[in-house]
Amino acid sequence: MIYRLHYAPDNASLIIRLALEELGVPYDTVLVDRASKAQRSEGYLALNPNGLIPVLETPHGALFETGAILLWLADTHGKLAPALDSAARGDFLKWLFFVSNTLHTELRILFYPAKYIGDDADHHAALRLGLQKSLAAHLQKLDNLASAHHSWFASASPSILDLYVVTLIRWLALYPKDGAHWFSLADTPHLYTLASQVECRTSVKAAINAEGLGPTPFTAPRYATPSEGSAT
Provide the residue ranges of all domains of the chain, joining segments of one domain with +.
89-201
Q: In what order do the strands lie in the sheet with 3-7?
A: 27-31, 3-7, 55-58, 61-64
Q: Is 14:211 a contact under the CB 8 Å cutoff? A: yes
pLDDT (tens digit per residue) in 114-126: 999 999 999 999 9
Q: Please check the confidence at residue 5 and state whether its pLDDT lies above 90.
A: yes
The whole-number average pLDDT for the span 145-150 is 97
Q: β-strands 55-58, 3-7: how paired?
A: antiparallel
Alpha carbon separation from 164 to 37, 120, 125 (Å, rounded): 25, 31, 27
Q: What is the CATH number of domain 89-201?
A: 1.20.1050.10
DSSP element (H, E) containing 107: helix 104-111
Quick check: pTM over 0.95? yes
Q: Please check the confidence at residue 1 and state whether its pLDDT lies above 80.
A: no
Predicted local distance difference test score (pLDDT) of residue 178? 86
| 134-143, 174-183, 212-221: segment of lowest average pLDDT | 174-183
Q: How far apart are the first and last CA of the chain?
A: 31
What is the spatial distance between Cα 164 and Cα 99, in angstroms, rounded to a whole number?
A: 8
